[in-house]
Amino acid sequence: MNFDLSPDQEALRDGIRSLCEGRFPSKRVRDGFDRSVWRELGDAGVLALRADGFGRADAAVVFEELGRAVVPGPVVWGYLAHGLVDGVVSGVDRTTGRPGPVFVEHRDVIDALVVLDDDGVRALAASDLDEGAAVERALDPLTPLHRVELPDAGDRLGGPELAAAWRREGAALTAAFLVGLAAGCTELSVAYAHERRQFDRPIGSFQAVKHILADMAVRTEVARAAVHAAACTLDDPGVGDAARAVAGAKLLAGEAAVDNGRAATQVHGGMGFTWEVDVHLYLKRAWALGTVFGTSGDHADAVAATLPSFVH
Amino acid sequence: MNLRYSEAAEAFGAELREWLAEVLPALPPKPARDDWPARRRFDTDWQRRLFDAGYAGLAWPREYGGRDSSPSEQLVFLEETTAARAPDVGVNFVGLLHAGPTLMVEGSTEQKARHLPAILRGDEVWCQGFSEPNAGSDLASLRTRAVRDGDDYVVSGQKIWCSFGQVGDYGELIVRTDPDAPKHRGISWLILPMDLPGIEVRPIETVLGSSEFSEVFLDDVRVPVANRVGAENDGWRITNVTFSFERGTAFTGELVDSRTLVDDLAPMIGDPHQRRELGKLAAELDALFALTQRNVTRAEQTGDPGPGALMMKLAYSEWRQRFGELSLRVLGRVGLDLDAPEGARLVEERLRTLALTIAAGTSQIQRNIIGERLLGLPKEPKPA
């Protein structure tokens, strides 16, 4: 057992971190997702990780860094569909069978859409899709949405087994991204608590604020351990129950990102309620990602299903 | 990054499983909670069996009779003994996890030779004498005084929350040896033989209706200067060495044991909302175990378990209380009967674990430590 980043994984993390710092500062992120973002992520190898022989634990390290920088775009779908679908690709997951509108993310940029449903995975060219109705005010400004009627057509990429595998891997990498959001919120808040002064001292010296920050750090660290355990279990299924590990990771990472987003808003005081400060971008993305690849309720139920069942 | 145990650790686990299957059926029944002489006999007898089989002091170096196991093997030991529902460390807790490790790092050659083998064999039981009625979270303000008189310290004062006070042969005692120095600088760490004249132990009745802790009154107790661990007035630093053992690793056994509680509760839940709640708690427990594996890896690689160890006590104790609340809601009115066979263990555990967020540094103190040491936040200003 060596449950820590290997030297290669540390180098990977540092490389992606400096890529994000150089190419995806807040100002660029706020411009939203476009083809240049996709191209630069592609050039950095983010989308081709699997083809290049990296494991899920490596990918988790990369996606956490993307989350830390709130990088916009359908990056998890790009990773999943790499090698099977050309161009910019987004996706929708219809396997849960919940009624409701189909929201396609980044409709105006994509070349193709992949659809997961009970029959498996299929790909639709963007040109075969309705224009759809743009959602005028999307909750997350960096995740633009269109309501679209999905046609039945498309190229079949695989059956239900592929859909299940993508759902699991998608949940694990989304969880890694969410841990990055949680960590990013903690860093923003700790920096602000050092710098913001009230009553003649930094607000981070007050226990009422310090304890919020301590809880943010703990939530992040616990969720990160869960995500890394899930990724390691996907890489080596002999070490545990992958379904349970991934469900737990998505559940905890999702809650850590939302709870930390809310806590960060509180620590930033009035500034946390402004458009100008980045905190809301983290919280809104956390909410948006909480709705994909299984909700927290779905995942809690999935973990519960692995426990001894009810005996009358 | 991987979670696969080494072949050596797997082999160790297999051998241990075999041994447990052999010895556990022959153990006497567990004694009643408040029968302290019987509990001492039971727990020290178990420790002696571990010692004879070569499983005592896994974390201890060979020179002190330990096995010098890797942190991975120690984790495997806890997983296997818990899965087999073997006895836990019991009254040997302070000696094995607290005082023993402190003596290894800070004790004299004589002190190590005198106490370490005896702790390991289960011949010696230790208790704790740190807190005082007016020195809880602000432990360094302690007032129990030790005045030098020839080869002895004459000690007077009062200690409280002494775990295993009724059965301890020795106590880890911190006292004020320099009343004029700043509060952190005038403290010394002493080995207190509990049979010295002038010591009175009074059990404290806890919310369990039993007596896990005692008050210890010290009235002109003559403790040999040779029993001092480390230098005079260097006791605060040594106390923090003791705490690093307590907060870093002492909860791992409980954490692993919590899995059996989750598995015990699950078959009692038919309500889908409560099952979902238990699913979430199980996911959190899995994550805390993964964080333990991370800390173990760091300890193996660098000797320092890293930030996760500072967080573990806080995260685990609060998890355990949320789990306890769910178990009471699941039991409903059955849980009002402390002796009902369906839920006795769960209800007792709910009561016992009320102390977890208080003992060994309250959750509030843990958050200060995380905020200040890990996040680098400034200390709260002293009141003017």
Quick: pLDDT tens for B21-72: 999 999 999 998 889 999 999 999 999 999 999 999 898 999 898 999 888 8
State which amino acid sits at residue A164: A
Q: Check: CB of residue B82 under 8 Å from CB of residue B68.
A: no
Per-residue pLDDT, B248? 57
Kindly provide the residue ranges of all beta strands, DSSP E only, lying in chain B, ordered along the sequence.
126-129, 145-149, 152-163, 170-176, 187-193, 199-204, 213-224, 228-229
Per-residue pLDDT, B246? 62
Which tokens belong to B281? 């708690």
Greatest alpha-carbon span in chain B:
70
Asked if B8 reaches chain A (Cβ–Cβ under 8 Å), the answer is no
Greatest alpha-carbon span in chain A:
65
Per-residue pLDDT, B118? 96
Positions in chain B short of pLDDT 70: 245-249, 384
Q: Check: CB of residue B17 under 8 Å from CB of residue B77.
A: no
Per-residue pLDDT, B245? 67
Query: In terms of Cα–Cα distance, which of B94, B52, B96, B95 is closest to B74?
Result: B96
Chain B residues with CB under 8 Å of A217 CB are 307, 311, 370, 374-375
Per-residue pLDDT, B342? 78
Under DSSP, the state recorded for B225 is G
Per-residue pLDDT, A12? 97
Per-residue pLDDT, A6? 96
Q: Check: CB of residue A228 under 8 Å from CB of residue A246.
A: no
For residue B278, which phi and psi values (nearest 5 degrees)? -65, -35
Catalytic annotation present for B15:
no
Q: Check: CB of residue A38 under 8 Å from CB of residue A149.
A: no
Inter-chain contact B1–A201, Cβ cutoff 8 Å?
no
Asked if B364 reaches chain A (Cβ–Cβ under 8 Å), the answer is yes
For residue B84, which phi and psi values (nearest 5 degrees)? -85, 0
Inter-chain contact A4–B294, Cβ cutoff 8 Å?
yes
Give the CA distances from residue B344 to residues B27, B315, B340, in Å, rounded to whole numbers and listed in that order. Answer: 22, 25, 6
Q: Which of A219, A307, A309 would you mutate first to test chain B, the one with the most B CBs within 10 A?
A: A307
Per-residue pLDDT, B231? 96
Per-residue pLDDT, B263? 93
Name which of B263, B291, B381 is nearest A222 (Cβ-Cβ): B291
Which tokens belong to A97? 């069978």
Name which of B266, B268, B279 is nearest A300 (Cβ-Cβ): B279
Per-residue pLDDT, B303? 77
Instruction: Give dist(CA B250, CA A205) in Å, integer.
Output: 30
Positions in chain A short of pLDDT 50: none
How do A112-117 and A89-93 pair as beta strands? parallel
Per-residue pLDDT, B247? 59
Predicted TM-score (pTM) above 0.90: yes
For residue B160, which phi and psi values (nearest 5 degrees)? -140, 160
Instruction: Give dist(CA A197, CA A205) in Å, integer.
Output: 10
Inter-chain contact A239–B4, Cβ cutoff 8 Å?
yes
Chain A residues with CB under 8 Å of B374 CB are 214, 217
Instruction: Write out pLDDT tens, residues B149-198.
Output: 999 999 999 999 999 999 999 999 999 999 999 999 999 999 999 999 99
Query: In terms of Cα–Cα distance, which of A180, A219, A232 is closest to B297?
Result: A232
Give the Cβ contact number of residue B181 at 10 Å: 12
Per-residue pLDDT, B345? 82
Q: Distance, in angstroms, between B101 CA and closest chain A CA?
A: 25
Length of chain A: 312
Q: Check: CB of residue A42 under 8 Å from CB of residue B40.
A: no
Per-residue pLDDT, A101? 77
For residue A144, which phi and psi values (nearest 5 degrees)? -65, 145
Per-residue pLDDT, A280? 98
Per-residue pLDDT, A234? 98
